[in-house]
Amino acid sequence: MEENKLVIIFTVTLLIIVLTMIFVYVIFIRKKTTLLIEQKEKDLHFEKELATSQVEMKEQTLNYIGQELHDDLGQKLSVVRLRQNQLLTKLNNGEKEELNELNELLGECIQDVRNLSKTLITEQIIHFGLVESIEREIQRIKKLKLLKIEFITEKHDVDITPKHGLILFRIIQESINNILKHSRAKNVSIQLKDDHEILEITISDNGKGFNTKEMNDGSGLKNMELRAKLIHAEFSIRSILEEGTKTSIIYHKNLS
């Protein structure tokens, strides 16, 4: 009798242990599956945002190059052709014939430049590094002559993955665009500090400032914050009315 009780107790105990193990295993599998799905969703969201940033960067850069070719070089060539046509009226027939050949060649060059400027807007571009991209953006802003802008950095090469570098550049670019559109600032400073573990970027302006509590989900500021989270970067904005705004981005390299 006692032996039967022991067998029953042992069997029940063993059954409970097995059921407990199965239950724990099922919970573990479910949790692991959930984590994998969440990570997959994060990866997909990151890739989507990266693709969007690449398109935005290409469009802006290519538009800038195309516009420069069309407006600057194209205009200069057109002026040269105009001056040449004026000289044609002062020359004899023999000299006119030779100059007409040059005039036709110059006209072809002007058309080639215009065609190239249009093509560049829709074609891909070779990506630059983060620092050089910032420098190019600053040169573009300086040509607008709307404000004074400086870039302070001790390094020209930053050890960062191209994908994360692109996201950071888009945040900086969007911050500059916000300053141009809304701040009424006269001076802007972009500072980049880089060490082995942290990349810190600050963008400061002396504009009118704003109330940071009024940030909404559809604003450009929220978009910058969300982009920073994608690459595990810290994003913060400190703004004082009538004094200016300071945007800070802290990127942890060991989390990339």
3-state secondary structure the chain: CHHHHHHHHHHHHHHHHHHHHHHHHHHHHHHHHHHHHHHHHHHHHHHHHHHHHHHHHHHHHHHHHHHHHHHHHHHHHHHHHHHHHHHHCCCCHHHHHHHHHHHHHHHHHHHHHHHHHHHHHHCCCCCCCHHHHHHHHHHHHHHHCCCEEEEEECCCCCCCCHHHHHHHHHHHHHHHHHHHHHHCCCEEEEEEEECCCEEEEEEEECCCCCCHHHCCCCCHHHHHHHHHHHCCEEEEEEEECCCEEEEEEEEEHHHC
Highest mean pLDDT pick, 19-23, 36-40, 121-125, 224-228: 224-228
Per-residue pLDDT at 142 exceeds 80: yes
Per-residue pLDDT at 195 exceeds 80: yes
Quote the percentage of the chain above a pLDDT of 70: 68
**pTM, full prediction:** 0.56
Contact 221, 211 (CB under 8 A): no
pLDDT in tens, 54-93: 666 666 666 666 656 655 566 566 666 666 666 767 766 6
Rg of the chain, C-alpha, whole Å: 31
Longest dimension (CA), the chain: 134
Return all residues near 12 (Cβ < 8 A) that are at least 6 apart: none
C-alpha to C-alpha distance for 119 and 112, rounded to whole angstroms: 10
**What pLDDT does residue 238 have?**
92
Please compute the mean of the pLDDT values over residues 218-228 and round it to a whole number: 79
CB atoms closer than 10 angstroms to residue 233? 24
* CA distance to 8, 131, 173, 181, 209, per residue, from 178 (Å): 75, 20, 9, 5, 11
Contact 206, 186 (CB under 8 A): yes
* Side-by-side strand order, sheet with 198-205: 148-153, 187-194, 198-205, 244-252, 233-240
| Across 142-146, 181-185, 236-240, least confident range | 142-146
